[in-house]
Structure 1
Amino acid sequence: MTDVDNSRVSIILPAKNEAASLKHLLPELKNCFPESEIIVVDDGSNDTTVEVCESNNVTCLQHQYSKGNGAAIKSGTRAATGEILVFMDADGQHLAEEITKLLDVLEQGYDMVVGARKFGHQANYGRGLANTVYNKFASLVTGHLVKDLTSGFRVVRAEKFKEFLYMLPNGFSYPSTITMAFFRVGYSVVYAPINVKNRIGKSHIRPLRDGLRFLLIIFRITTLYSPLKIFLPISSFVFLVGFMYYIYTYITDDRFTNMSALLILSAISIFLVGLVSEQITMLLYKKDAK
């Protein structure tokens, strides 16, 4: 049993056609956290999600059409009254008893605790490999060890999470966005190992559609954290190519070509765009003076 006062906790579950798993998960949550606020955000479901919530006396917020996982997270956060927010999937993968572990770690002085899955607990080998790439890249960019960038199971202090609510995308990349935002402003983030089960029902992620979308996460990671880390290498490479081409044409033709000039000017332009983006990013994360 955690030492955290359960009445301070709001548990938020984004759900789309997850009635089958909610039938089992909601009673478990009610049993483990009888004093906590539980909010299910029905993201345009066409099953009995609402009826399951009503039968378990759980708050259910409804989206009239599917807006996305991130949009559901934002709706749940706006409605939550707890000082501590718990986010978990409604598909049966996350265990109610694991919340206690994350809450206990949070009370050690952290601002966000993320449940980190093992490689073997990923939905499939491809997802596991992709998440490993995301984790390695995010660790390189931020300088912090990132064990599970895309995990949807996390606990966080509500006041600090709400600071970045406007930044969160409506799709599945909200976990990476909020993680980068916390690292960027210096909030304390830690990863705690969790056990997961196989989901109930079918996944809403489509390999082709969402696989291409998830590739963009890599660029979002960098541009959200520090744009210069992606613009500077590109600028340096283009400048090097232009300079080497100038050396080559100078030796062979004794002249400075238009292509060399174009590449060098392009390199300078890319660097300046990155510099401006860096300044904009700093303003984006700057808190309003109190």
Structure 2
Amino acid sequence: MSSVAIIIPAKNEFDSLKKLIPKLISSFNEYEIIVVNDGSTDKTSELLRELDIKSIEHKYSKGNGAAIKAGARAANAEALLFMDADGQHQVNDIKGLVEEFKQGYDMVVGQRNRTGQASFFRYFANSFYNWLSSKVVGHDVKDLTSGFRVVDAKKFKRFLYLLPNGFSYPTTITMAFFRSGYSVNYYPITVKDRIGKSHINLIKDGFRFIIIIFKIGTLYSPLKLFTPISVTLFLLGIVNYIYTLLDSGRFTNMSATLLVSSIIVFLIGLVSEQINSIQFENKEED
């Protein structure tokens, strides 16, 4: 069994892969290298056959997260190292990530700096993710969405069922590890401009921005998300009641709706918290 499996999800990244794979073979031939070809329509399939490395072929694109899961299932190593196929993640950083992981961490994430962000929008969004997740988990989360990371294979595979098929797998697995009490650390990396066209869409990214915010809260601790909403609705209901009582001497439907909604939201959060706890406890027993 190899100590580390390098898993690379790829979709139409021929130009980058023809440079990346030979570097990996030359520098880390002792590692298991797996490329998951996620429905590419370029010459990626031909390149992988030519290089004669382990690959998984998706007949159609299933998403970055689906490729990650397929690679993890196929890997036969104690640790899994994930990196992008677009040329942004550097081979030179792999050794540092693995060495940091060997210090006893369950997951080490490649931490990007400001220049490593694709755009100001991405930098702003990622900074907000980091701040929000840090508040939720009570630890300093330095790069929540980085796809360059090394993890304990056994522990990672416990959470495959949680991972989405799209681009937000880093967020999900990071929060799952924190939720389970596993140790997570960060290692500074150098990120270069990608080779070829990005698969990220600004509009879809904006929508994903909102989804990730809720996912962070509901995955780690639902009550931390639902309680502030419940309290806000309750206070609005009280304020509205006081106003209408002084203005017209009556209790309005709006006040009733706000107060009842606050109770319902809190109960939803409470039930979600219990379900979440049971879910993670069951995985620990597996």
Q: TM-score, normalised by structure 2?
A: 0.96
SS of corresponding position for 2:56: strand
Q: Distance in 2 between matches of 1:222 and 1:244?
A: 27
Match of 1:248 among 236, 239, 243: 243
Change (3 A) 1:244 1:214: closer
8 Å CA contact 1:85, 1:156 repeated in 2: yes
Q: Distance in 2 between matches of 1:280 and 1:74?
A: 24
Match of 1:117 among 104, 112, 120: 112
Match of 1:182 among 177, 183, 208: 177
Task: Report what 1:234 is aligned to.
Answer: 229
8 Å CA contact 1:120, 1:128 repeated in 2: no
8 Å CA contact 2:2, 2:76 repeated in 1: no
Q: Distance in 2 between matches of 1:125 and 1:232?
A: 32
Task: Report what 1:3 is aligned to.
Answer: none
Task: Report the alpha carbon displacement of residue 238 of structure 1 after superposing the two structures with TM.
Answer: 0.7
> Percent same amino acid among aligned pairs?
60
SS of corresponding position for 2:77: coil
| 1:109-148 correspondence runs (5 A) | 109-148=104-143
Q: Distance in 1 between matches of 2:57 and 2:275?
A: 35
SS of corresponding position for 1:10: strand
Name stretches of at least 5 consecutive residues in structure 1 with no aligned partner.
1-5
1:114 maps to amino acid: V
Q: Distance in 2 between matches of 1:279 and 1:210?
A: 31
Match of 1:268 among 263, 268, 286: 263
1:102 counterpart = 2:64: no
Task: Report the alpha carbon displacement of residue 288 of structure 1 after superposing the two structures with TM.
Answer: 4.8
Match of 2:285 among 258, 283, 289: 289
| 1:1-290 correspondence runs (5 A) | 7-286=2-281, 287-289=283-285
Task: Report the alpha carbon displacement of residue 259 of structure 1 after superposing the two structures with TM.
Answer: 2.4
1:96 maps to amino acid: V
1:140 maps to amino acid: K
2:76 maps to amino acid: T
Q: Distance in 2 between matches of 1:97 and 1:128?
A: 24
Task: Report the alpha carbon displacement of residue 213 of structure 1 after superposing the two structures with TM.
Answer: 2.0
Output the aligned Cα RMSD: 1.3
Task: Report the alpha carbon displacement of residue 153 of structure 1 after superposing the two structures with TM.
Answer: 0.2
8 Å CA contact 1:173, 1:214 repeated in 2: no
Q: Distance in 1 between matches of 2:113 and 2:213?
A: 21
Q: Distance in 1 between matches of 2:95 and 2:197?
A: 27
Name stretches of at least 5 consecutive residues in structure 2 with no aligned partner.
none
Q: Distance in 1 between matches of 2:25 and 2:182?
A: 31
CA deviation vs aligned residue, 1:147-179 (integer Å, no higher than 9, x gap): 111100000010000010000000000000000
Q: Distance in 1 between matches of 2:284 and 2:106?
A: 19
Q: Distance in 2 between matches of 1:122 and 1:288?
A: 35
